[in-house]
Every structure is written in C-alpha cells, then in structure tokens.
Structure 1
C-alpha cells in the first residue's frame, strides 16, 4: 500500500494581495497531485486547510475541482478533513469542502469511513473554546472511533494544536492518541516534522505546501508532503520537497549596512535559476530611515517590483523609539498587548477565543485584506 499525505495547501490565498501568490499555492498543490498520480498511489489524505477561506471564490472552487478531477481520472480517492481556515462557522454554515464532494472529495470531519479494507477516522479543527466545552481532551472521541473500526489499517486525521509546537496548547500527543491506530496524520503546524511513533502509531506532520507567513525555520525544513509506503507492519514515510514553490530571500535588516545589503540581494537574485521571481523579506529595526528610503537604495541596484526583478518586497520591521532617559524600547509588545487585552476582557475563556481569532487574522498581510475577508465572511469571528 502507498499513499500521499498532504496538508495546509491554503488554496486561494492571495498573499500580499497578489494573484501570482494565489497561483503559487495552486501550483504546489498541483505538483503534489502529479506526484501521487505518477506513483499510482492507492489514495491521498489531506489534513486540513485545503482552502485558505471558509468562503472561497468561484475561481478558487474551480481550482479545487480541477485538482480533484485529475485524481478522479486517475482513480485515486482523496480523504480530507476541515482545518481552522475552511471548517465553516459551526452551526451557521458548513465547510466549503462539502461543495467538492460531487467531484470526488471524501470529507470525514467527524467519524469513520472504510475504503478497500482501510479505515479512515477524521476530526475537524476544534478551537480552544470548543475543547473546553468537551472537557479539554479529544482522546474519548478517538476511542469511540476505534470501536467503529474493524480489522485493517487504521488512519487518524487531525488538524489540531499540540505541544510543543503550539506552546499555549494543553494537548499532548502521548496523552491524546490512544493505542490502536497505525498512522496519525496531523495538519495545522506549518513546519514539517520527522515522523515519530506515539503509542504504537506513526505520527506524521507534513507542514504547509507554501509560506503563509515566512520564517527561517520553515525555509530550513523545506516545503513539501509525505509519500508513505506500507509493507506489512512497516510504515515508511518519505518527505518529498516541492520544486514549484516561489523562492523567498530573507535578510536581517540594519540601517548601517543598507548599501551592502542591496548589493548582496542583487547577487542572490542573479544566482536564482530562472523560474519564479523571488519575494524579498526584511526583518529587523528602523531608526532613521523610512520605507521610501529603503526602496531608493534598492532601486539603485535594480531591485524593485516595477523593474520586474522581484515579485514583492515584504517588510517585517519595527521602529525603535529612544526615551528621554536614553533607554531604547520597541514601539509594540505583543506580550504587553495581550496582558492589557486580558485585563479588559476579564473572562479568560473569552480572552483565549479573541486571541485565537486575532492570530487567524494575522495570517493576512495588510488591513485591506482583512477588511475584504471580514466583508465577505461576516460570521468569521465565531467566538
């Protein structure tokens, strides 16, 4: 038996408001499907965030149908669960993945299904508030799943936050995964992990197929999916890196070396071998310069979106402020903001729900994207 495990494709994400980035998310998803077809796998599993939005556009739905049609034509079924991005909004709406069921997608958000002697159990994303409503543990759900599974290979599909990948989570894999499953596929965490054995099950987290928010750890780990071969009791997951992803060039920014940095970026761009134009990311601090100044320095080396050398320049910069007593402080502090927010809200459960919602909105790159999303999804803030 062999299958492909893919996760967090975020189809339809117009990162930076660019159509090119939306196409990037489709391209890597399509590459993974081409691999599955070439290997003639028995099936594909997808562990959540198939779409980036619970209300994908008509164009994005068509992209999803195209992906599924390729698998259907090859006779390869795909089993999917809903992630936090595409789960719908509880009782007010259903997951948009339901729309794709006639195209061959098999949605197993809360239950068990059997295919060719293999058992699939799925659980869609549950928020922290939702976890508290069920007692804080998802293990009883999985134990009931096992009661409905016969003799055969057992796969559990999750899109959930676990320690230590999400430090604020109270869920631990060893406590939540009961013995009895053979393979546990987990989505939501965007950095791929080495497979591990937990309570007898092979646990695999493939990460996302593209950068929804760039960071160095994701770059080091790479973007891809898992190709899994099962020979008797031996489970052999192999991480497959994607080749169609857009290059990201990451730099630590310092005003003191801006001229040297511009020259280095130019050299790095020239080393890229064709393909897609890169996204350049700056992280660091601003003191005297403005963004306009930075653009000016870069343009002297021919680095700009207008000249076509890069797709986008993304700033992740914080301005430093010097107080009268000479101490340097940062303008914003997430920790201080959260403390004040918690004090104002009062109720700890409501505070956690608000923070969870804000963290979701932080995946967007500017306020215009957030406004557009909230306008199209009036019930998105489900707290």
Structure 2
C-alpha cells in the first residue's frame, strides 16, 4: 500500500490585509499539513504549486518553509520526500526559490524536468510534474510524457485552470485537449491554482483540485483540505480528505435606520456576534446617517477581532456608465493571458520575461535582452542592431514595462 498526501496553494508569506497574524495563519496551516503527513505515515507529499505567495518571498519565510519541510526528513522511521512544482504566483524566469530550498534539504524533489520523466513512489505511482506554463508558452511546451519503466499508476501534477472541473469562463485550457498531448494514458491529474475543492472524471482520467490551505479571497469556501491518496498496487484504492483548521471569517450586514444613533445601532448589532479573533467584514446599507467606515473599524478593534474591515454600500450618486468589475489575483498571470493572444516568437517571449523579471536590475535589462536576441540570431553579437532596429523593439510589439504581483485580493 502506497500513501501520498496532496496539498496545494499554501501561499506562504502572504501578509493578507497587511496583517502579521494573517501571515502567520498561512504558516500554521502549512505546519498542520506536515503534521497530517506524519500522522498518516505517508510515503510522499505532493505540492501542486504556489508554495509561496510571491516570486520574491522574504528571507524569514524561506527559512520558515525550509524548517517545516525539514520535519519530513527528520522522521525517525524514514524521510518523506516533498514533491513540488512551481505555481504562477512564485514563478521566476530562471532559478526558482524551491531551488534554494532543495539544497539543504535534499529530499525536496522538483518534478518538472526536460525529459518529462516521472518520480516513482514504491514502484506503484509514477508522478510527473509541470511548472506553471504561461499562456504565450502553452502551445510550444512539450507535454509528451516519457513512459515509466514498470506498470504503475500514472499521475500528472500541474498548476493550471482546466475545464472541467473549473467553470469554462474561468479556465485557461480544455482538459480533454491536455490529456491528448501527454501521448500516454494518464490515470489522474492532480492540480493546483483553483482555490476551491473540485473533482471530475474526463475520458476515464480522474481530475481534481484539493483547494487552498487558507482563505485568500472572500469567496473562497469556509473549509480547507488536503487529500490523502491510497494506492493498492497500480490502482487508486481510496481518496480521502483531511481538514485544515483556519481562522474564521464573519460577514455582517447592517441596515442603518433613521432616528437612531448609528454608532449605538452598530454596537448593538456587533454585540450579537462572537467576533473575537475572527476576520470580520461589515457592510453598511440603509439610511444615509452620519457614520464612517473608520468608526466601524474602531469598534471592531475594540472587540478584539484579528482583522476588521468595513464597506459602505450607501450612495446618493448614480453614475450612468458601464462598469466592468474585475479582480486581479496576480498581475503576472493577467499579463501572460493578454500576451497569449499575440503571435510572439519564442525569442520575443524570452525577452518579455527579461523585461518583467523584477530580480533583474533596470540597468541590466537592455544587456540581458540583447544577449537573448544575439543567441537567437546566428553571427550577431549582443550590441548589434537587427536591420537597424533596437533588438528589443524588433521583437516586442510595444513596451511591456514591468509588472509586480498584485498580492492583495480582498
């Protein structure tokens, strides 16, 4: 019997609401994941991306993460390998932060490799992995899998939005098309990126998302889990879930009325709830009486909430314009999607990544981009122009500028 724990989207170093206690909540959730792995005596932990919330996590978070993963290696019975891929939030152009985590730990395994070969657990499960693939690179990425040496259960780990099970309007790609590109029959797709728990079967292949380990957006579900996969030989015998305790979110709607002190009304309504230690979001509606959001947030802090937020739905103004509401979870991902509609060459895609890489000093961007173009054009040098044009402008359709990760979602 082989047992694997599947976790995804832990988003370490996310200081949600600019609150240090919320940052620690993500660390606590990840620690609980490792507790469960040890309790269940699993043979491996599979993480399907967004271990970190940002491509440049703080040094403290990197140390915390390494120490938590190290607990798997310190098991007295046998060390538990930590298998991982890189998600869209943490993706960097060259080396990933998991590269540095891998050095002191040894048992951390990056599944993505040039030959698309698997990591085999107990001769029962062959696990393949692909780091997050931005839309401009999707069609050119080789997804053909190298078959395992022995007959076993074939599982592919990816960090993408596939339909089904993700709703078509949210999805990046069609699941059936993805399965066709693997070149061999795949028994299961273990996915990350979607923070809701979802599962389905496509042409006999099991497909699922375990969801995130913490609440990153208000519409995330109240419960968060990891999956425990049990294999009997080359068959998935049992798929169970273990819940990760998370801080409670509370949403309170207050309909203000005329003729009553608004502060006193809000105090009475808040007293009807147990708000201590919770993330509380109050929405004001009703009469246009004199009370501010900051007053409400002060009342919440007085009651010991972890985070207190207030929004005011009252308005005397009507604006006759079409407003498109959108939520940018990750600016890099959004840029990738927009670039996906352009017919960029491979060289242009690589130059674009240089321009957007925040770890490349601005003074070095031109030189790095010239190197990319020179490598793609035989006989040229980094300083040469292409047909009299700026090498960067010759490939890029316009100035992309630089982007940062829009971490705050709420």
Same fold (TM over 0.5): yes
Q: Deviations over 1:223-281 (max 9, x none)?
A: 121112223424321122112x11111234544597666534433216x7xxxx11112
Contact 1:45 1:80 in 2 (8 A): yes
Q: State the alpha-carbon separation in 2 of the partners of residues 105 and 279 from structure 1.
A: 34
Contact 1:280 1:314 in 2 (8 A): yes
Hey, what does 1:180 align to over in structure 2? 185
Q: State the alpha-carbon separation in 1 of the partners of residues 281 and 32 from structure 2.
A: 25
| 2:295 match: secondary structure | helix
Give every structure 1 segment of 4 or more consecutive aligned residues whose post-TM-superposition deviation is greater than 6 Å: 284-287, 374-380
- RMSD of equivalent CA atoms: 3.5
| 1:145 match: secondary structure | coil
**Alignment pair present for 1:129 and 2:130:** no
For structure 2, the residue ranges without an aligned partner over 5 or more in a row are 329-334, 343-356, 363-401, 406-410
Pair 226,322 (structure 1): closer, same or farther in 2 beyond 3 Å: same
Structure with greater proportional helix content: 1
Contact 1:14 1:21 in 2 (8 A): yes
| 1:49 match: secondary structure | coil
Contact 2:257 2:286 in 1 (8 A): no
Q: State the alpha-carbon separation in 2 of the partners of residues 377 and 65 from structure 1.
A: 25
Deviation at 1:19, TM superposition (A): 1.3
Hey, what does 2:280 align to over in structure 1? 280
Hey, what does 1:108 align to over in structure 2? 111
Hey, what does 1:296 align to over in structure 2? 295
Hey, what does 2:197 align to over in structure 1? 192
Hey, what does 2:381 align to over in structure 1? none
Hey, what does 1:381 align to over in structure 2? 403
Pair 349,334 (structure 1): closer, same or farther in 2 beyond 3 Å: same
| 1:240 match: secondary structure | strand
TM-score (norm 2): 0.69
**Alignment pair present for 1:68 and 2:59:** no
Hey, what does 2:308 align to over in structure 1? 313
Hey, what does 2:10 align to over in structure 1? 9
| 1:13 match: secondary structure | coil
Hey, what does 1:358 align to over in structure 2? none
| 1:334 match: secondary structure | coil
Q: State the alpha-carbon separation in 1 of the partners of residues 210 and 68 from structure 2.
A: 19
Hey, what does 1:370 align to over in structure 2? none
Deviation at 1:377, TM superposition (A): 8.5
Instruction: Report matched runs for 1:1-383 at 5 Å.
Output: 1-74=2-75, 75-88=79-92, 90=93, 93-102=94-103, 103=105, 104-110=107-113, 111-115=116-120, 116-117=122-123, 118-131=125-138, 134=140, 141=143, 144-147=144-147, 150-163=150-163, 164-165=166-167, 167-178=169-180, 180-193=185-198, 195-215=199-219, 218-219=221-222, 222-232=223-233, 233-243=235-245, 245-252=246-253, 254-256=255-257, 262-269=267-274, 277-282=277-282, 288=288, 293-297=292-296, 303-305=299-301, 307=302, 309-315=304-310, 320=315, 322-323=317-318, 332-334=323-325, 349-350=338-339, 381=403
Q: Which has the larger radius of gyration?
A: 2
Contact 1:32 1:242 in 2 (8 A): yes
Q: State the alpha-carbon separation in 2 of the partners of residues 59 and 71 from structure 1.
A: 20
TM-score (norm 1): 0.73
Q: State the alpha-carbon separation in 1 of the partners of residues 38 and 100 from structure 2.
A: 23
Q: State the alpha-carbon separation in 2 of the partners of residues 57 and 185 from structure 1.
A: 28
Pair 382,166 (structure 1): closer, same or farther in 2 beyond 3 Å: farther
Q: State the alpha-carbon separation in 1 of the partners of residues 84 and 98 from structure 2.
A: 8
Q: Deviations over 1:170-221 (max 9, x none)?
A: 512233224622232100000112x322232222211111111222x512xx
Q: State the alpha-carbon separation in 1 of the partners of residues 313 and 324 from structure 2.
A: 10
Q: Deviations over 1:325-376 (max 9, x none)?
A: xxx66895337x99xxxxxx9xx944979xxxxxxxxxxxxxxxxxxxx988
